Amino acid sequence: MAQFDFDLFVIGAGSGGVRASRMSASFGARVAVAEDRYLGGTCVNVGCIPKKLLTYAAHYADDFEDARAYGWSLEGRSFDWPTLVANKDKEIARLNGVYAKLLDDAGVRRIEARARIVDPHTVEAGGKTYTAERLLVATGSWPTLPEIPGVELAITSNEAFHLKELPRRVLVAGGGYIAVEFAGIFHGLGAHVVQTHRGELFLRGFDDDVRSALAGEMTRRGIELRFGHVPKRIERAGAALRAVLDDGSAYEVDQVLYAIGRAPNTKGLGLAELGVRLGPLGEVVVDELSRSSLDNLYAIGDATNRLNLTPVAIHEAMALARTLYGRQRTPVDHENVPSAVFSQPQIGAVGLTEAAARARYGKLDVYKTSFRPLRHTLTGRSEQTTMKLVVDQKSQRVVGAHMVGPDAGEIIQGIAIAVKVGATKAQFDATVGIHPTLAEEFVTMRTAAKRD
């Protein structure tokens, strides 16, 4: 008789938890996963997927306007927010079903309840206890809010996907990718948007040229950026809200959305009581194999606060399953992970920023171009696309690639392969471009804008 009910008990059925469960089961492990909210976690339900759908919707405003220059007449167009939300919800429900089937087909036991760790081998969920040889925390993260008067009147990204009406005036507080994306979404759908951020420029961690370029484009589109300022209180103003900033200025809006960061969702799991080492935000501190300070307890994804991206959580899950049950020790690899911000226009990036590359390698060659895309030679739109390559001067390896412009995420995904395998600038130059495309600029930049 088996000593434990399961070989692996997973807490959290987000992207990481589901992948770890399925992969481990495919290697022959007996697996259970507990989830008290929704299958697919943040990404599927209140993150990547619905956000991208809303981004598509917002972009139609530009597309319709640009179509006139190409001979199309689109009179009488209108937008209906409830229709968008209903169709989005239908797709999310479909994906929830897909995730359930994937787990069931893999032989994973699904437990629809909040789990709490009782001891190193025991978990309580839904009034029942289960034992497992190993435990995995994959509980993701949760939006944070500031402690200011009236903050209860604001919403976070969680609620933004379920608003009954489209607000016509929105203040977005925050400077990360979620704040930038929602500023673009609401603006594209017709709202007047103000975005506040405590720093001098948003998107800390991205290349400075990229940050500046996007700020310019957002301002050109009509989004009001208030850098260096944050709301100090929110109060009711009749049917509206009044957000008062730290400089005394105030904005009357229909909605205040906070996107100032997310914290690991680890409270109440029983980790502290077990003596599991936690970081300052409550993140589970793990090694390269995702193992915590408790030998049989592991953690992946946002709960570890390493690199909080859905594909990274999936990568960590696959590496863990191979390590534990696939007889293949697989450390996680967080080097040269590509990312995108689905702002308007988009950001795509892989590798090091110019500042980070200079700190690591010293002397650099930096290639940069900024131009108006061919599409807008007819529309008259002044939007600029910016592209940048960061090259280690000694080895001539391309160690960073950055872009602001249409389809930047799609383009950088391909460029990421070259950066990951260590391609040199000469190899980029030797690649024939596809003409006329935006992406060809990455292989036609011949003259360095900056050479240390």
Token look-up 């990229």 returns 210
Residue of 407, 436, 376, 437 whose CA lies nearest to 68? 376
Residue of 310, 233, 355 whose CA lies nearest to 300? 310
Sign of CA dihedral 416, 417, 421, 425: negative
Asked if 192 is an active-site residue, the reply is no
CA distances from 345 to 138, 214, 353, 412 (A): 32, 7, 19, 14
Within 13 Å, how many C-alpha atoms sit on residue 347's CB side?
A: 28
Quote the tokens at residue 329. 């020790």
What residues contact residue 421 under an 8 Å CB cut-off, 6+ apart? none
- For the range 323-331, what are the long-range contacts, defined as Cβ-Cβ under 8 Å and sequence gap of 24 or more? 323/289, 324/8, 324/24, 324/29, 324/134, 324/298, 325/7, 325/8, 325/23, 325/24, 325/27, 325/28, 325/29, 326/23, 326/27, 329/289, 330/289, 331/288, 331/289
Question: Cα angle vertex 298, ends 297, 304, to 5°?
Answer: 130
Q: Please give the Cα distance from 81 to 89 (Å, whole number).
A: 12
What residues contact residue 111 under an 8 Å CB cut-off, 6+ apart? 32, 33, 34, 35, 125, 126, 130
Strand duo 385-392 + 364-371: pairing:
antiparallel
Q: Please give the Cα distance from 53 to 45 (Å, whole number).
A: 12
What residues contact residue 386 under an 8 Å CB cut-off, 6+ apart? 209, 210, 213, 368, 369, 370, 402, 403, 404, 405
From the candidates 187, 197, 376, 435, give the one annotated as an active-site residue: 435
Report the catalytic residues: 435
